[in-house]
Homo-oligomer: A and B are copies of this chain.
């Protein structure tokens, strides 16, 4: 190792960090200054990457879980030769910059995942490690390892305090993810001050309890960084936590080691003094040591050699395994290997949409052999069991069976969703995760990141209303649909029957630029006859006509999911009372799509000349856009424990009530 060059890199990280944050007058100098040596070691020595091909499938993945330290990764990506100029860094935290406040996936080459919300990065990295194992086991051939790299993470105290990290790391231990190395930047400082205030646990012991290898050393000893990393990589059966004693904001003469350096610019005087002490020229803002640039130039050439060697290996593999190579291409594209042959359902049959979803899984698993996922310990209630593998190989992804495709996440919704993000971001795989709809709250921060990053994770959310019955208000979603529909770039699909469920699955699988939530019932629903013959296509617009009168409708009943059947029953009751009424019934599996549809499309579906009524077993919020509040049958309170239909009666949420609402308003017209 060229220690002097590595020192110059670390120095340059500090230089760029000080100046970028000073110029933006905003940012977090503590982490990059405190961990600069590790950055120098990782990008200068350890990591395999190609700045000209930042999506190279066999690159090492690096995740800055302590995302507030974004200048750490920007400095290093810049020096390492990624498409990130000094001007980009000078635009740190400005609108349109490649260097936003926290690292954002898709915006900056070399940034593997969006971090900042603490704990997410490390949990997402667990997903990447699972993905690497799976991809390697599927595509590597003896002597032809085209996928064989590691996942590197830097996490701080904040990340390790978060529950999502606990969940994912416990599972990582169970799964024996030896390809995962987490460096713990242990600087004993968080925003409120010393970690003694709130975080006195023995972190190393905790990770040992999870089944991790735990190593200890100093952040500022390059030899140690190298030997600890080698030790970490040598253990193929356990993830490793490398605990590094460090000083937050190292190099800031009066502020280092204090919480004052965590999240605020050093200030002009401290910045000047830091530069003086460190030997950074005062007259050269955004200075990078020439030795650092020179070192990375040679490092790049070295890495080009590694890349070329891999290309040769890859080409040989491709030649020897043409079918597998074609499969890899398809996997990486996100597309299906074979046409999707979704099950058909018989009109009138009663099928819960969770059950219909379960029936689709076989077809999806066949068309997408890269379909991988599982449930947070609700496999049977979520109906997410995948069919057995055709070749009889074991289905479950475990330490000993990385070729598996079903993951038992345990009761860890939040960790599960973050892992889903990691699998999706890794590339090549199509992840799904599952829990009850009401527990989408548990995983919401990771789901938000799926949406923000455009990660195509599929969320199977069953037990979608008070109709689940006896489990009571803790398990009955009321506000959940509204809360999900509020998230930008999340597609929320609530199918009304088994057939819609199959189409919803198709839509979800074809979506590659963001997450989809499939909101499904526990209770049986009849398979509906649909008036609109093109409904499987119209449905993609958000809504379609299920029942249509033979003249312009007087009344349009709008509903989603299980309430479409209820609306049809209500329509029958209205017709029984006033046979001359022209009633249309509309199913809205995707409200956001309907609202975003062109006005003529919306009008064609909603018949604006008619009186519109809405029924949904949850809060009305958002439906007021198409119907006045008094025309909406909703539930604005928490539910109750009892058989589903009894609860609905108790809450007055029935087809009778809905029919009465229509009749009263219609008669009064």
Residues on A close to B: CB < 8 A? 24, 26-27, 67, 93-97, 100-102, 104, 114-119, 157-159, 161-167, 170-171, 173-174, 190-193, 195, 197-206, 208-211, 263, 375, 377-381, 396, 408-412, 414-415, 438-439, 441-442, 444-445, 448-449, 451-452, 469-475, 478-479, 482-483, 485-489, 595, 619, 621-622, 624-625, 629, 636-638, 640-643, 646-647, 649-650
Contacts and interface: CB of A to CB of B under 8 A. Distances in A.
A104 to B, nearest CB: 7
A192 B619 contact: no
Contacts of A482: 482-483, 486, 621-622
Contacts of A191: 377-381
Contact of A161 (B24, B161, B195, B411): B411
A122 to B, nearest CB: 12
B621 A485 contact: yes
Contacts of A472: 93, 100-102, 104, 116
Contacts of A412: 161-163, 198
B201 A209 contact: yes
Contact of A641 (B102, B201, B449, B475): B102
29 contacts: A26-B643, A95-B647, A100-B473, A102-B475, A159-B411, A161-B167, A161-B170, A161-B412, A163-B163, A163-B412, A163-B414, A166-B167, A170-B199, A174-B200, A190-B410, A192-B379, A198-B377, A198-B409, A205-B209, A206-B206, A441-B444, A448-B479, A482-B621, A482-B622, A486-B486, A486-B619, A488-B636, A621-B621, A625-B629
Contact of A637 (B263, B381, B488): B488
A566 to B, nearest CB: 18
Contact of A211 (B116, B164, B200): B200
A210 B199 contact: no
Q: Count this chain's copies in the assembly.
A: 2
A470 to B, nearest CB: 4
Nearest to A158: B411
Given A167-B162, A201-B174, A380-B191, A638 B489 contact: yes
A375 B451 CA distance: 27
Question: Which of A102, A158, A445, A636 lies at the interface centre, i.e. has the most chain B CB atoms within 10 A of its CB?
Answer: A445
Contacts of A415: 163
Contacts of A411: 118-119, 157-159, 161-162, 190
Nearest to A194: B408
Contacts of A479: 448, 483, 486-488
Given A205-B206, A479-B488, 15 more contacts: A96-B642, A102-B641, A161-B410, A162-B167, A174-B201, A192-B379, A197-B408, A198-B377, A199-B410, A203-B209, A206-B206, A448-B479, A483-B486, A622-B622, A624-B624
Contacts of A636: 488
Contacts of A100: 472-473, 640-641
A469 B26 contact: yes
B163 A117 contact: no
Given A166-B166, A200-B173, A619-B488, A192 B377 contact: yes
Contacts of A643: 26, 93-95
A106 to B, nearest CB: 11
A96 B381 CA distance: 26
A478 B488 CA distance: 8
Contacts of A115: 474
B197 A396 contact: yes
Given A173-B200, A379-B192, A646-B94, A470 B408 contact: no
A95 B201 contact: no
A104 B159 CA distance: 33
A445 B444 CA distance: 10
A190 B101 contact: no
Contacts of A625: 624, 629
Nearest to A475: B116
6 closest cross-chain pairs (CB), A and B: A163-B163, A198-B410, A100-B641, A95-B642, A479-B486, A116-B474
A516 to B, nearest CB: 16
Contacts of A475: 101-102, 116-117
Contacts of A163: 162-167, 412, 414-415
A617 to B, nearest CB: 13
A171 B198 contact: yes
A487 to B, nearest CB: 5
Given A94-B642, A192-B379, A198-B409, A24 B102 contact: no
Contact of A474 (B375, B379, B452): B452
A452 B625 CA distance: 27
B408 A170 contact: no
B377 A201 contact: no
A197 B445 contact: no
Contacts of A165: 163
Contacts of A209: 201-206, 209
A377 B190 contact: yes
Contacts of A380: 191-192
A442 to B, nearest CB: 5
